[in-house]
Amino acid sequence: MAQRAPRIDTFSLEVGRQLGSKYEVRELLGAGWEGEVYHVVEVDTGIERTAKLFFPERNPHNAAVTFYAKKLERVRECPVVIQYHTRDTFRFHGQRITFLVSEYARGELLPVYIARQKGKRLHPFEALHLIHPLIVGLVEIHRLGEYHGDVHDENVIVRRVGLGFQVKLVDFFEWGRRTRAHIQDDICSAIRVFYNTLGGAKHYRNLPPEIKGICCGLRRSLIARKFPTAGHLLRHIETLPWR
């Protein structure tokens, strides 16, 4: 009887470790239920990439890898989506591990960026400039018949560029065929991200009415009535009158 391969719950790859013959590890970017994400560099070209390594038990028959690759390809024209390049494998503790290679998004996780700001929050006008590209991205994702399914602060990478922000969304989540509930989840989650950048519950009371009119007290029923689609939310933000 064949011995079952040991369960892998972490890779904890050291800086300089090579993945096969093509990539070298620079740093760990994040870890989650499915696996770990590393900043890597192509050995031959020096081009920086991101590698998402999947725990074998979370990726039976490469199902998770295949899902991510296909979904990223379907929404490849969307500016907030990390661009997929290829897939590869390497050996780890006697097992062949599959990983996805995608673009390396420069910037930092949203909570890290917010923590560096004065008062650990953004001015409302600045927060609108940050959330705008995220909503633009959701409009495009939904137009393509897809949804994100896991919009939250830790899945948003931001980089200040000129007068605004470059925003990237990571870690799509699959709940099956897209429904109205999925669309509303994306919209409500994006508004919660906006709410958090403003300082959350601690500062909500003192926010301008225009901003409260977007957050709707985070009440899902109010958000659904006011913003039935991401397009409604986008138009509201882009035409918001200020006193």
Q: What is the pLDDT of residues 96-133, one digit of tens each?
A: 999 999 999 999 999 999 999 999 999 999 999 999 99
Could you report the per-residue pLDDT of 187-230, keeping only the tens digit for each? Answer: 999 999 999 999 999 999 999 999 999 999 999 999 999 999 99
Model pTM score: 0.88
One-letter amino acid identity for 100? L
Q: Which domains does the chain have, with CATH numbers?
A: 18-103 (3.30.200.20), 108-238 (1.10.510.10)
Contacts of 79 (CB under 8 A, 6+ apart): 133, 136, 137, 140
Sheet hosting strand 108-109, strand order edge to edge? 108-109, 156-161, 164-169
Distance CA 27, CA 31 (A): 12
pLDDT range class, residue 1, cuts 50, 70, 90: very low
Length of the chain: 243
